[in-house]
Amino acid sequence: MSKVLLAEDDRTMVSLLTTLLKMEGYEVVVLDVHQDVALAVAQEKPDILLMDVHLGGQNGMDIVETIRKDPSNGGVNIVMTSGLDMRDECLRRGANHFILKPFMPDDLLNLLKN
């Protein structure tokens, strides 16, 4: 079972994603919007980090760069989401994938499985 660390500030989205991912057999750990995401990645050792680009007062781009600077986080598959098309910047800064909101559940699941 893959572990997904979910960093998202929209409570409705958190609820929907948690339900969807658990139904598909993923272990889901939801972060509080003010938690240190890079520290949580180091502690939880997730297979996947599913993170919104804009997390309350935090900048997802900076978080990804911090995570990528730590060699022990090399195996984490980072999927970033946003309502703005920030694909190129997210990938350049260290994300493995980007998905534009709103997205269909099947699109996310196919991305996570591949």
Tokens found for residue 82 = 């946003």
> How confident is the model over 69-82, as a mean pLDDT?
93
For residue 56, name the pLDDT band (cuts at 50, 70, 90).
confident
107 phi and psi, to 5 degrees?
A: -65, -45
Domain count of the chain? 1
pLDDT in tens, 97-112: 999 999 999 999 999 9
User: Does 57 have pLDDT greater than 90?
Assistant: no
Of 11-25, 35-49, 52-66, the range with the lowest mean pLDDT is 52-66
The DSSP H or E segment spanning 67 is helix 60-69
The burial class, CB within 10 Å (0-12 / 13-18 / 19+), for 106 is: exposed
Whole-model pTM: value is 0.95
CA dist 5 and 50 (Å) reads 6
Cα–Cα distance measured from residue 69 to residue 49, given in angstroms and rounded to the nearest whole number: 15
Specify the residue for token string 């997802």. Answer: 60
Domain with residue 101: its CATH number is: 3.40.50.2300
Q: Write down the residue that tokens 């060699």 correspond to.
A: 71
Task: Find the domain containing 18 and state its range.
Answer: 3-113
pLDDT of residue 58: 83
pLDDT at 55 > cutoff 90: no
pLDDT at position 114, please?
79
Instruction: Please list, in sequence order, all residues whose beta carbon lies within 8 angstroms of the beta carbon of residue 31, skipping any fewer than 6 positions away.
Output: 5, 6, 7, 37, 40
Mean pLDDT of the chain: 94
